[in-house]
A and B are shown apart, each in its own frame.
Chain A
Amino acid sequence: QSALTQPASVSGSPGQSITISCTGTGSDVGAYNYVSWYQQHPGKAPQVVIYDVSNRPSGISSRFSGSKSGNTASLIISGLQAEDEADYYCSSYTKSRLYVFGAGTRVTVL
């Protein structure tokens, strides 16, 4: 099972919106609405920010949103803040009953 494809880095100024893409195949991202996104600050464990493509867990800012079209999912962070600077990973359940992650995207707040 190949990893999902994410851009290595995305940057934006405070207050701007950024989008992180996550491209898979018809056997993972395209097969189910089970795409989730995880934020990881340095030295910390990841935490979920979006699940089931577009749902936010309680306690996660409404500035985080998600969408999917075909085999590509996207995480949108609006009103970018300094605290959003972190690594972001997408994940998908697959037809093989496994989970696959993207390689991660480093978000930099300029």
Chain B
Amino acid sequence: QVQLQESGPGLVKPSETLSLTCTVSGGSINNYYWTWIRQPVGKGLEWLGRVHSSGFTNYNPSLGSRLTMSLDTSEKQFSLKLTSVTAADTAVYYCVRGNNWSDYFDSWGQGTLVTVSS
């Protein structure tokens, strides 16, 4: 059973960069899409983007050029960097695995709350 664990700062200052890492255990990181989804407290889910073990990425255009995702197969980790953050980026961030036979999200991390505040 694959497990995903997010890590990173819980507090980021406005205009700075939010960086999170997800560590994959109990399964392979290869041949899957690895995704970040966020959820402002008390609100709905927002798909941010995904990275494939091949290096392919695609991002939610609502984030413009602020978002970058990468993957390190040797460390079994993938990461997210979101630049120029504002209070609107305050949310619980989930790292998620995309099923490799169809288009849905089959495994989720527990989520990590990131607050943007000075």
| Stretch with Cβ within 8 A of B (4 or more), from A16-24, A47-55, A78-86 | A47-55
Residue of B62, B104, B110 ringed by the most chain A CB atoms within 10 A: B104
> What residues of chain A lie closer than 8 Å to B44, measured between beta carbons?
3, 89, 101-104
> What residues of chain A lie closer than 8 Å to B47, measured between beta carbons?
91, 98-101
A45-B110 in contact (CB<8A): yes
> What residues of chain A lie closer than 8 Å to B104, measured between beta carbons?
34, 36, 48, 51-52, 91
Whether A12 is near chain B, meaning CB under 8 Å from some CB there, is no
A: number of interface residues (CB 8 Å): 25
Task: Say how far A105's CB is from chain B's closest CB, in angstroms.
Answer: 10
A45-B45 in contact (CB<8A): no
Report the separation of the CA atoms of residues A37 and B70 in the bound assembly, to the nearest whole angstrom: 27
Q: What 0/1 pattern do residues 21 to 54 of A give for CB contact below 8 A with B?
A: 0000000000010101010000001111001100
Whether A57 is near chain B, meaning CB under 8 Å from some CB there, is yes
Report the separation of the CA atoms of residues A45 and B110 in the bound assembly, to the nearest whole angstrom: 6
Report the separation of the CA atoms of residues A57 and B61 in the bound assembly, to the nearest whole angstrom: 30
Q: In this complex, what residue of A is CB-closest to B50? A: A99
A98-B94 in contact (CB<8A): no
Report the separation of the CA atoms of residues A19 and B96 in the bound assembly, to the nearest whole angstrom: 27
Known: A47-B108, A51-B104, A51-B106. 6 other contacts (CB 8 A): A45-B108, A45-B111, A46-B94, A89-B45, A91-B104, A101-B46
Task: List the 4 closest A-B pairs by CB distance, nearest first.
Answer: A36-B104, A51-B104, A34-B103, A45-B108
24 pairs, A vs B, C-beta closer than 8 Å: A1-B60, A1-B61, A3-B44, A34-B104, A45-B94, A45-B108, A45-B110, A46-B108, A48-B105, A51-B99, A51-B102, A51-B106, A52-B103, A52-B104, A57-B106, A91-B45, A97-B58, A98-B47, A99-B35, A99-B103, A100-B47, A101-B46, A101-B47, A102-B44
